Amino acid sequence: MCGILFRLQLKKSFTNDSFHKELWNQLMILNNQRGPDSQGELFKSIQSQSSSLYTVYLTFFGAVLHLRGPSIVKQPLTDNDEEDVLLWNGEIFNGVEIPPGENDTKYLFAALKMSHNIENDNEEKNRILHILQSIEGPYAIIYWQSSKRRLWFGRDCLGRRSLLWNLHSEEDNFILTSVGCKISQMSKSPYFAEVSANGIFYLDLDKMLSSTSWEPFNNFLTLPFGKVNDTLPNPEDLPQLPASSDLSNSYIPAISLKIQDAIDRLIEELGDSVRRRIIDIPRVGSIQDARVAIMFSGGLDCICLAALADRYIPKEEAIDLLNVGFENPRIQQIKKNKKTNISYKDNSIYDVPDRLTGRQGVEELRKIAPNRKWNFVEVNVPFEEACTFKPKIIELMAPSDTIMDLSIAMAFWFAVRGKGQVTSLDDSEIMIDYESKARVILVGVGADELLGGYSRHREAFKQHGWKKLIEEIQLDVDRISTRNLGRDDRIISSHSKESRFPYLASNVVSFLCSLPMYIKADMRYERGIGEKLLLRHVARQLGLFNASFLWKRAIQFGAKTAKMTNENNKEKGDMRVI
């Protein structure tokens, strides 16, 4: 994982005014936080072929978090003659051949340079696009192709890595960066927007100098594996519903041979996705430190990831389960008004819903994997501390800017920071301070979109049946790339850690989209049974019986970051942060 930063300056004479100097320095600081292991900067000046008056100045900056290979590969990465330049913030889990234990950055660079041997320009461009399209894994890339004076840049088709641009800036200063910022003293601070994940872009320098025009490849990296199976179920496909008197909260729908095959296949596909994302992580620090952590509410999505991770991480290693809870004065006031006896010095103020299900979840994990050291990290966030870091989190999540963005970003930021408490090995009643050193964070994003986990999916079925449910899930799959993964990357990476999303691996998405809807979700059943039905079966097969009946709960409600005060009772999630 890396922080990548690029600037193109187009001026008749190079100037280094105070605004751009301060802006660049701030962007370097923020990108440095993403990559503490190595930082580098590279300058290039290129003369216009059409006019000797113009010189183009290119600046590349890379900050590396070492997560692949035996040694650090510094960025910006160049060849021997320092002509081509690569800035790479990504992980290649499949698609481009990477020998086991090797670094993917240098192999990608070599593959891109091989395309230069193709004489036909269109074929050469198509070859570069083919390489990028074939990558299985999250990425953002900036690549300077010197021979064609061409700048390539873009993100993976799901938008799992952040890349921002200042499209609305002055014409002679173009910036690409993993994370944006504002210069508070300057009124002309640039507006950074997300680079669209629906294509790979390139900027032809010579064409730009003559016409100041872009030549993007829009809609190139689409989701060929993202077409949801729209076959409506036949009546004989559907299990017969039991009498309402038999339909309890712990009812388990019948499992046909077809459904059992889907359960086995999902365990296989999701397990492979988890395995690829947790093997070969370099060890940093003590052998006692966990190399992998999981955002852990105890809910269905994350506990299945934990159980699968246990299969592939050496048994002597710990796994950190990051569980966050916030002091929420509004909730405490409501409890006080109800005469609930609660002390602000008592950790019970952090017994938010996710804390309670998290504790239950880790106990289930300890039963199925008793020899594993599961560090259940209770991250407790006092209201005062949340307020202190709120401005920083708002800056990091930008251009995302709603109340809901902030609620989710705060939960992610404090959880991934990993400063909390764990129970003492000697006495389970004693809590000791603990800070997670894990650099890789598994996150359960994607399960709800693919398996029908949202309340709107149930409502769609209630109103218009299977056809509307399928349409609603297709809509969610189609807009994964435009949702919040860039925001989450900016938040998590600010702690020099990397998020990885096993449910969004192409093999998992492809498999789940291929299944008939009734196998994945059956909203004829009650909440806690019908939504994400297939994953609930998987959980039970993994030995996670209690977790298999838990309802979906958004992190801002589970951790209690939503509406932390009574300052504005009319505050809505889609309102902009002031």
CA angle 440, 389, 387 (to 5 degrees): 135
Mean pLDDT of 467-486: 93
Which one of 2, 157, 302, 304 is the catalytic residue?
Answer: 2
pLDDT value, residue 141:
97
| Alpha-carbon gap, residue 444 to 303, rounded angstroms | 9
Q: Which residues contact 345 (CB under 8 A, 6 or more apart)?
A: none
> How sure is the predictor about 198, in pLDDT bands with cuts at 50, 70 and 90?
confident
Q: Residue 329: is its pLDDT beyond 90?
A: no
DSSP annotation of 437 reads -
User: Residue with structure tokens 């017994």?
Assistant: 351
**Do 520 and 538 form a contact (C-beta atoms < 8 A)?**
no
Q: Residue 13: is its pLDDT beyond 80?
A: no
Instruction: List pLDDT tens digits, range 283-325.
Output: 988 889 999 999 999 999 999 999 999 999 999 999 999 999 9
Q: DSSP of 227-248, one letter per residue? A: ----PPPPGGGSPPPPPGGG--
pLDDT value, residue 19:
73
pLDDT value, residue 561:
78
Instruction: List pLDDT tens digits, range 403-419.
Output: 999 999 999 999 999 99
Percent of the chain with pLDDT over 70: 86
Give φ, ψ of 77 to 5 degrees: -95, 130
Q: Which residues contact 381 (CB under 8 A, 6 or more apart)?
A: 324, 325, 326, 327, 350, 410, 414
Q: DSSP of 139-197, one letter per residue? A: EEEEEEEGGGTEEEEEE-TT--S--EE-TTS-TTEEEEESS----TT-TTPPPPEEPPS
Nearest CA to 269 out of 557, 574, 566, 535 is that of 535
Instruction: List pLDDT tens digits, range 342-371.
Output: 444 455 889 999 999 999 999 999 999 999
Q: Which domains does the chain have, with CATH numbers?
A: 2-218 (3.60.20.10), 235-330+348-562 (3.40.50.620)
Instruction: List pLDDT tens digits, range 33-70.
Output: 999 999 999 999 888 776 656 688 999 999 999 998 88
Most confident of 13-27, 56-70, 179-193, 564-578: 56-70
Q: What is the pTM of this model?
A: 0.92
pLDDT value, residue 74:
95
pLDDT value, residue 232:
95
pLDDT value, residue 343:
43
Mean pLDDT of 68-81: 90
Give φ, ψ of 348 to 5 degrees: -65, -20
**Of residues 186 and 2, which shows the higher confidence score?**
2
pLDDT value, residue 347:
58
The average confidence (pLDDT) of the chain is 87
Q: Is 513 a catalytic residue?
A: no
Cβ-count burial of 70 within 10 angstroms (0-12 exposed, 13-18 middle, 19+ buried)?
A: exposed
Instruction: List pLDDT tens digits, range 152-184.
Output: 999 999 999 999 998 655 556 789 999 998 765
Strand order in the sheet with 85-90: 77-78, 85-90, 139-145, 150-155, 199-204, 215-218
Instruction: List pLDDT tens digits, range 264-273.
Output: 999 999 999 9
Most confident of 276-290, 333-347, 417-431: 276-290
Residue length of the chain: 578
**Amino acid identity, position 571:** E
| Six-digit token string for 91 | 């992980």
Q: For residue 288, give the 3-state DSSP assignment.
A: coil
